[in-house]
């Protein structure tokens, strides 16, 4: 089945839609669980489904190093390898250009990494990034891009943007899989004019979807919010819009209000592994002594398996005893919370009351009025 995006309804700039892929349909706006190394840390595929996860992410750089994309292809592709039969998106390795900059050499031809595992060199050209993702067999693949940090000087930011556009052209020319959609990534830091120029250049190449990269890389929340709306407005209205690596629950609400359809972030599982749970009332730090005798669930109205079966006192005990079940149960709850939030936003958009929903969440979680 060919990839297709269906825009069903709008409410202000918030958008209700569907992503149709070879491995099923995802309702948007959607939060995607990060499974960098073919696993969402501490959780099984069945638990992901129970938490409402629709799409899982894998990472080109990490999976090319270990176990290798050719091995994964030999074993039936990433869906079979990790036993996840729903949609998968793979990042291209562009974020590692930012996060592993100390082990990187980059020019217009390629990004050359020194493996964090054994020190071996990995040359990642746009063509190789596409080939790896085609071997992985993801439903959505990402163009290789250069993701500079927020404090990048303007002259180098321009170099990174031009390289990103050039690499997108090469990725599109190399891409062959008809059952895999290739998304381009808009860069430009917090400079709106640069982002709009990048978006216009990439839009001319007519990709099936577009991402906004280079956010949450050191800029302030205010800087991100100021650049996000005009950046999203510069993207085609009939194509999915993906905000990469963002973010906290309030960030998701703000992103949807500005026209974003897709999100991913390590925050729900990373916080879960570190004894922090997201709730409607705010974050709960389960190691705190106040939970030692608390027989309540994390959230009384949460339908996740963690809240249905276990008390705060038990979760507190698991983390103090350094038991593996603690990170699993909090990660499960956090992903369920994120996906419930997305479902609530989809419902609000469908009923044309997203503006009120948004204001309620901003007031509850301490955000500014839009």
Q: How far, in Å, CA of 254 to CA of 134, rounded?
A: 33
Exposure b/e, 340-356, CB count within 10 A at least 16 = b: bbbeebbebbeeeebee
Q: Which of 11, 145, 251, 264 is catalytic?
A: 264
Q: Which of 69, 91, 251, 261 is catalytic?
A: 91
Residue 360 bears catalytic tag: no
The answer to whether 55 and 30 are in contact (CB under 8 A) is yes
Q: How far, in Å, CA of 140 to CA of 87, rounded?
A: 8
Kind and range of the H or E element at 179?
Answer: none
Q: How many other C-beta atoms lie within 10 A of the C-beta of residue 55?
A: 26
Structure tokens of 126? 């746009």
Q: How far, in Å, CA of 129 to CA of 111, rounded?
A: 10
Structure tokens of 290? 């106040």
Among 94, 249, 247, smallest CA distance to 167 is for: 94
The gap between the terminal CA atoms of the chain, to the nearest Å, is 39
Residue 206 bears catalytic tag: no
Kindly state the DSSP code that residue 307 receives in the 8-state scheme: H
The residues pairing with 272 across neighbouring beta strands, listed in sequence order, are none
Kind and range of the H or E element at 132?
Answer: helix 126-136
Q: Give the catalytic positions in this structure.
A: 91, 264
């Amino acid at each position: 089945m060919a990839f297709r995006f269906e825009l069903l309804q709008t409410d202000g700039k918030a958008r209700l839609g569907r992503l149709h892929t070879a491995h099923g349909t995802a309702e948007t706006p959607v939060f995607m669980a990060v499974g960098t190394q073919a696993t969402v840390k501490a959780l099984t595929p069945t638990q992901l489904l129970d938490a409402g996860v629709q799409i899982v992410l894998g990472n080109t750089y990490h999976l090319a190093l270990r176990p290798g994309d050719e091995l994964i292809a030999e074993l039936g592709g990433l869906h079979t390898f990790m036993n996840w039969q729903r949609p998968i998106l793979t990042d291209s390795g562009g974020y590692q250009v930012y996060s592993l900059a100390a082990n990187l050499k980059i020019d217009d031809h390629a990004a050359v990494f020194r493996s964090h595992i054994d020190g071996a060199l990995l040359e990642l050209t746009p063509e190789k990034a596409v080939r790896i993702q085609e071997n992985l067999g993801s439903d959505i693949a990402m163009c290789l891009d250069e993701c500079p940090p927020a404090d990048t000087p303007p002259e180098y930011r321009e170099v990174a943007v031009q390289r990103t556009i050039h690499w997108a052209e090469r990725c599109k020319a190399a891409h062959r899989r008809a059952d895999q959609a290739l998304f381009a990534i808009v860069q430009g830091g917090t400079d709106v004019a640069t982002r709009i120029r990048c978006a216009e250049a990439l839009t001319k190449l007519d990709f099936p979807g577009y991402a906004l990269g280079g956010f949450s890389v050191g800029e302030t929340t205010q800087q991100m919010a100021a650049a996000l709306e005009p950046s999203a407005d510069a993207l085609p209205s009939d194509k999915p819009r993906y905000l990469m690596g963002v973010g906290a629950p309030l960030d998701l609400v703000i992103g949807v209000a500005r026209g974003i359809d897709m999100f991913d972030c390590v925050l729900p599982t990373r916080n879960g592994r570190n004894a922090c749970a997201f709730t409607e009332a705010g974050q709960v730090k389960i190691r705190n002594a106040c939970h030692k005798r608390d027989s309540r669930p994390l959230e009384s109205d949460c339908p996740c398996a963690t809240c249905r079966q276990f008390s705060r006192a038990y979760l507190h005990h698991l983390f103090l005893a350094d038991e593996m079940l603690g990170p699993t149960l909090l990660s499960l709850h956090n992903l369920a919370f994120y996906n419930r939030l997305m479902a609530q936003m989809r419902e609000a958009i469908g009923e044309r009351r997203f503006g009120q929903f948004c204001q309620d969440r901003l007031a509850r979680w301490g955000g500014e009025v839009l």
